[in-house]
């Protein structure tokens, strides 16, 4: 009876994985059909304006107005594609680009980040170069529209003040001290429902034109016209895919250029989420076919877990703050590499003291994790959501970051017993790491502030890639998962961090 019962359980698991695979495959195919369908018929070309990567979207033989689209800090042109496709399908000729230091732009950001005439001025100059390029490519002789998100809203507002060739401006999640009662003269502000500080800033910008003006209103005084709208139920990233914002942007530009016609809203966010989620779900079903190289690993005792989590969380920030390295042209990457290296080495030493067996490397699992994580998931992310392809010096950055990320992730995999430890064990281990980064920022806020911006990337890494690593570890061991996740984390950070040079 026990044998038959075990066989039934094993068979039910196989059936569940097969069903998951079939549903995930179907969801992937549907998502790809919708995402590629949003592009169908458009001319989409990759060009450069000097050294700046530019992607041009338009119907064949389109003659509509020109719109230049700019992304926010740590973003890339892929992140703005819902707006680029919506505008292009509505008849506009769209030029979206990667700022210096971002995406596939080979030129690092530079200048003083705290001075308008420093880094901000360089980004304004780059935006104007893209405007020059767009006008030269299209022959358009009327004002150019600008649309930007987050950091770019300040850049495009100041570009509008400096360049009389700029017409209507759309700022998404906008904040700019350059906005006055008179300029930009033609401004739409779109803010996410869950961005209270930026919503307040938009209302303040409305009040400069007309006292008491607020969200959902359009005010005009003389030549100045301004509107503030809220995209419902979204935050700082979700606002880029919200249908309300997409429709409002097209309507704003149509009004400015005296155009009318149907708007095809390309709200790709849901399909992107379905695609990436299905790629992860498929990884679970495929992991069952990995050779079973390891047996069950005994989780750490509670006391051992607390020591292995707390000691590196204290030692890493207190030690790394005294180590000054400036080898990488990337904001705070040098520090993060050192922090991760110390954290991982201290944790590995404690695990060795606790006589935790490290085991052997499951090479098949390591290869599968890299192929699926960087290939299937990474390529999907790169095409539809955010840059995930290293270029130029970013390849070297992957290698340097791996010096810290690999020991850190190997130690994490061993501490959590290859993902087999109780959930609260994993929660304690990851929380301790985030606390250590928060302590580092508190100890040297001015130098390490940008670590705060990268924290969501690391959190998403644990949620997405951490799951895939856990499934690999269950068959191929913690070392395979730790090594693979360490390399993927180095890759993810290298393509996310903006390049920055102190020269220039």
**Phi, psi dihedral angles at 72 (to 5 degrees):** -95, -175
**Tokens encoding 270:** 């849901």
Are residues 192 and 236 in contact, defined by beta-carbon separation less than 8 angstroms? yes
As a whole number, mean pLDDT of residues 167-181 equals 97
pLDDT band at residue 225 under the 50/70/90 scheme:
very high
Question: Considering the chain, what is the average pLDDT of its residues?
Answer: 93
Task: Please compute the mean of the pLDDT values over residues 130-155 and round it to a whole number.
Answer: 97
Q: Where are the domains of the chain?
A: 2-24+271-501, 41-266
Does the pLDDT of residue 3 top 60, yes or no? no
In sequence order, the β-bridge partners of residue 149 are 172
Residue pLDDT, tens place only, 436-464? 999 999 998 888 887 887 888 889 999 99
DSSP 8-state assignment for residue 48: E
Task: Report, as an integer, the average pLDDT of 69-82.
Answer: 96
Please state whether 74 falls in left (phi above 0), alpha (psi between -120 and 50) or beta: left
| Residue 339 CB partners (closer than 8 Å, separation 6+) | 316, 317, 320, 404, 436, 437, 440
Between residues 111 and 329, which one has the greater pLDDT? Answer: 111
Pairing outcome for strands 66-70 and 93-97: parallel
Topology of domain 41-266 in CATH is Rossmann fold (3.40.50)
Question: What per-residue confidence (pLDDT) applies to 9?
Answer: 56
More confident: 115 or 31: 31
Task: Convert 296-318 into a string of H (helix), E (strand) and C (coil).
Answer: CCCCCCHHHHHHHHHHHHHHHHH
CB neighbour list of residue 42: distance below 8 Å, 6 or more residues apart = 57, 58, 59, 85, 88, 89
Two structure tokens written together for 226: 């301004």
| Global confidence as pTM | 0.93
- With a cut of 70, say whether residue 102 has pLDDT above it: yes
Quick: pLDDT tens for 397-419.
Answer: 999 999 999 999 999 999 998 88
Q: Give the strand order in the sheet containing 186-192.
A: 43-49, 52-58, 93-97, 66-70, 144-149, 166-172, 186-192, 224-231, 218-221
Question: What share of the chain in percent tops pLDDT 70?
Answer: 96
Identify the residue whose tokens are 């401006």. 169
Place of tokens 């008849």: 91
Q: List the structure tokens of 407.
A: 């020991």
Among positive and negative, which fits the CA dihedral 335, 337, 342, 343?
positive
Helices (H) and strands (E) in the chain, counts: 16, 11
- State the average pLDDT over residues 277-304: 88
Higher pLDDT, 262 or 319: 319
Q: How confident is residue 279, by pLDDT bands cut at 50, 70 and 90?
A: very high
């Amino acid at each position: 009876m026990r044998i038959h019962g075990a066989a039934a359980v094993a068979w039910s698991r196989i059936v569940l994985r097969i069903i998951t695979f079939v549903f995930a495959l179907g969801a992937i195919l549907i998502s790809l059909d919708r995402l590629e369908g949003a592009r169908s018929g458009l001319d989409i070309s990759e060009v450069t304006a000097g050294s700046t990567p530019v992607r041009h979207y338009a119907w064949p033989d389109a003659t509509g107005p020109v719109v230049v689209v700019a992304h926010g800090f740590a973003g890339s042109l892929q992140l703005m594609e819902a707006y680029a496709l919506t505008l292009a399908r509505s008849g506009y000729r769209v030029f979206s680009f990667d700022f210096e230091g971002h995406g596939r732009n080979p030129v690092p950001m530079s200048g003083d980040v705290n001075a308008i005439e420093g880094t901000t001025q360089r980004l304004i100059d780059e935006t104007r170069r893209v405007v020059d390029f767009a006008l030269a490519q299209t022959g358009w002789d009327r004002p150019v529209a600008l649309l930007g998100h987050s950091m770019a809203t300040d850049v495009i507002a100041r570009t509008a003040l400096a360049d009389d060739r700029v017409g209507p401006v759309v700022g998404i999640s906008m904040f700019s001290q350059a906005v006055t009662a008179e300029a930009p003269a033609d401004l739409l502000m779109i803010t996410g429902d869950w961005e209270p500080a930026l919503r307040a800033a938009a209302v303040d910008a409305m009040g400069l034109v007309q006292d008491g003006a607020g969200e959902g209103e359009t005010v005009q005084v003389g030549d100045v016209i301004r509107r503030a709208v809220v995209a419902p139920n979204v935050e700082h990233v979700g606002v880029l895919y919200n249908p309300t914002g997409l429709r409002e942007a097209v309507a704003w530009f149509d009004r400015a250029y005296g155009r009318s016609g149907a708007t095809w809203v390309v709200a790709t966010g849901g399909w992107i989420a379905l695609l990436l989620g299905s790629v992860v779900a498929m990884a679970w079903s495929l992991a069952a076919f990995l050779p079973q190289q390891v047996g069950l690993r005994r989780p750490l005792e509670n006391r051992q877990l607390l020591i292995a989590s707390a000691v590196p969380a204290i030692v890493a920030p207190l030690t790394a703050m005294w180590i000054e390295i400036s080898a990488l042209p990337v904001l705070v990457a040098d520090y993060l590499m050192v922090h991760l290296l110390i954290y991982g080495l201290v944790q590995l030493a404690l695990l060795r003291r606790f006589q935790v067996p490290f085991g052997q490397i499951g090479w098949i699992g390591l290869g599968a994790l890299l192929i699926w994580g960087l290939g299937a998931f990474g390529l999907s992310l790169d095409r539809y959501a955010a840059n995930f392809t290293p270029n130029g010096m970013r390849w070297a950055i992957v290698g340097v970051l791996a010096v810290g990320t690999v020991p850190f992730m190997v130690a994490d995999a061993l501490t959590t017993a290859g993902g087999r430890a109780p959930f609260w064990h994993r929660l304690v281990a990851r929380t301790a790491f985030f606390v250590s980064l928060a302590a580092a920022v508190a100890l040297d806020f001015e130098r390490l502030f940008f670590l705060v911006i990268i924290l969501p990337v690391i959190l998403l890494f644990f949620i997405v890639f951490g799951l895939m690593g856990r499934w690999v570890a269950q068959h191929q061991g913690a070392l395979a998962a730790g090594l693979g996740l360490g390399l993927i984390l180095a890759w993810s950070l290298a393509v996310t961090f903006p390049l920055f040079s102190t020269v220039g």
